[in-house]
């Protein structure tokens, strides 16, 4: 159980797009009074630091959550101090910035500006953008907009699932999209605002690594996604469409994200929900057969992604000869046609993969992943 104060602070930090979102804008002092403004923000920072300092916690999960919160808190605090020195803290941007943009989104929370197109899919388009007061070092945003209003229910499903996944602060939160806001266009299309991920999807990675990535890197990527799936499955959530564009890797710290939860299924055994999407290349056989979703369904799709990332053939599941046979056998265990003959527990496979890594590569060490 995460400490309630830590849980609340972590959620507030996650939702912060800029320093002012977390520390607020004091009404008792002029924003041009840099010395006193800095003292007020410093006091708030120290109060928050006492709540989330990792040394305060002994339980492993709370300590890990506190570490993530403390790191993000310091980044926001440093940004606040920089803004105060520059005289921009709490002042945002003038409307002129937004007058220069043709594409604006207004919600009850904020105004957002669309700057670029990040990705185009069958269901939705994802744009890059900013919000008022978001300077160069503030958090950028991703704006996902449904193409056809008839598919709004899929975005409503994704919003619901993300809220369930983020219901309580967790060490797995850092591997998931962060929902900031939502809206509806004048044409009736639903949209959602998320923090932008500084990461590469698997298709982009394969563009660099034409023959597949080195097999020592597949271990940590595989483990990260197994941990996310294990976390979701315990909550009764099946992702339902694990494929290369939905797995994103941040090389600098080996963080991995699982995104696009629009096709997710919640507690299929209770709700009777079936699969919402058939992906010809990555869905398991039970999807086209109309069978119920189970955790092993996600794990089949994940293993196919690992075959692809290693430079293998996703149709016959063959993996390059350069890859150790023990890694091949582990991945191919996930790819049996019969769902009940595959691994059923992502957490169990996570632990076994840790053992496999040591068997194949020896003691764990951080290896730089270059993009």
Q: Are 145 and 188 in contact (CB under 8 A)?
A: no
Each as own residue / partner, the long-range contacts of residues 119-127 (CB below 8 Å, 24 or more positions apart, any chain) are 119/245, 121/245, 122/147, 123/147, 123/151, 123/154, 123/262, 124/151, 124/155, 124/262, 127/103
Residue tagged 């890594």 (tokens) = 357
User: Who contacts 304 (Cβ-Cβ below 8 Å, separation ≥6)?
Assistant: 281, 282, 314, 317, 335
The reported pLDDT for the residue numbered 97 is 46
CATH topology of domain 4-86: Helix Hairpins (1.10.287)
What whole-number distance in Å separates Cα of residue 349 and Cα of residue 343? 7
Would you list the DSSP string of 127-183?
EEEE-TT--TTSPPEEEEEESSGGGHHHHHHHHHHHHHHTSS--TTGGGS--EEEEE
* CATH of range 200-361; options 1.10.1050.10, 1.10.510.10, 2.40.340.10, 1.20.1440.230: 1.10.510.10
Q: How many CB atoms lie within 10 A of CB 269?
A: 10
pLDDT confidence of 95, banded at 50, 70, 90? very low
Q: Where are the domains of the chain?
A: 4-86, 95-195, 200-361
Rounded Cα–Cα distance for residues 363 and 354 (Å): 10
CATH superfamily of 95-195: Phosphorylase Kinase; domain 1 (3.30.200.20)
Whole-number percent of the chain with pLDDT over 90: 80
pLDDT, average across residues 292-310 = 98
Condensed to tens digits (0 to 9), the pLDDT of residues 163-215 reads: 999 999 999 999 999 999 999 999 999 999 999 999 999 999 999 999 999 99
Query: Residue range 53-67: average pLDDT?
Result: 93
């Amino acid at each position: 159980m995460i400490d309630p104060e830590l849980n609340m602070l972590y959620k507030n930090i996650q939702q912060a797009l800029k320093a002012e979102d977390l520390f607020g804008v004091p009404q008792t002092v002029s924003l041009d009074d840099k010395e006193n403004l800095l003292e007020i923000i410093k006091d708030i920072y120290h109060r928050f630091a006492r709540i989330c300092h990792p040394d305060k916690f002994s339980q492993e999960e709370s300590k890990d959550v506190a570490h993530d919160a403390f790191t993000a808190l310091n980044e926001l605090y440093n940004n606040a101090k920089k803004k105060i020195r520059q005289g921009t803290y709490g002042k945002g941007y003038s409307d002129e910035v937004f007058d220069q943009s043709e594409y604006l989104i207004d919600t009850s929370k904020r105004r957002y500006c669309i700057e670029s197109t990040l990705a185009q899919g069958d269901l939705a388009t994802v744009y890059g953008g900013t919000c008022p007061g978001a300077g160069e070092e503030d958090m950028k945003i991703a704006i996902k907009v449904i193409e056809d209003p008839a598919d709004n229910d899929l975005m409503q499903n994704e919003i619901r699932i993300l809220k369930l996944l983020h219901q309580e602060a967790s060490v797995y939160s850092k591997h998931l999209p962060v929902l900031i806001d939502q809206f509806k266009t004048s044409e009736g299309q639903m949209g959602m605002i998320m923090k932008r991920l500084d990461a590469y999807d698997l298709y982009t990675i394969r563009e660099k690594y034409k023959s597949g990535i080195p097999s020592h890197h597949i271990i940590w990527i595989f483990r990260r996604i197994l941990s996310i799936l294990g976390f979701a499955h315990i909550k009764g959530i099946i992702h339902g469409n694990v494929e290369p564009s939905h797995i994103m890797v941040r090389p600098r710290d080996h963080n991995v994200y699982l995104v696009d939860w629009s096709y997710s299924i919640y507690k299929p055994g209770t709700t009777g929900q079936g699969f919402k999407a058939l992906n010809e290349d990555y869905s398991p056989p039970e999807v086209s057969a109309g069978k119920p979703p189970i955790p092993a369904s996600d794990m089949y799709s994940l293993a196919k992604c690992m075959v692809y990332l290693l430079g293998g053939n996703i149709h016959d599941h063959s993996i390059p000869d350069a890859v150790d046979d023990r890694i091949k056998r582990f991945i191919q265990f996930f790819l049996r046609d019969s769902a009940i003959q595959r691994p059923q527990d992502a957490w169990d496979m996570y632990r076994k993969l840790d053992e496999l890594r040591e068997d194949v590569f020896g003691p764990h060490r951080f290896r730089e992943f270059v993009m």
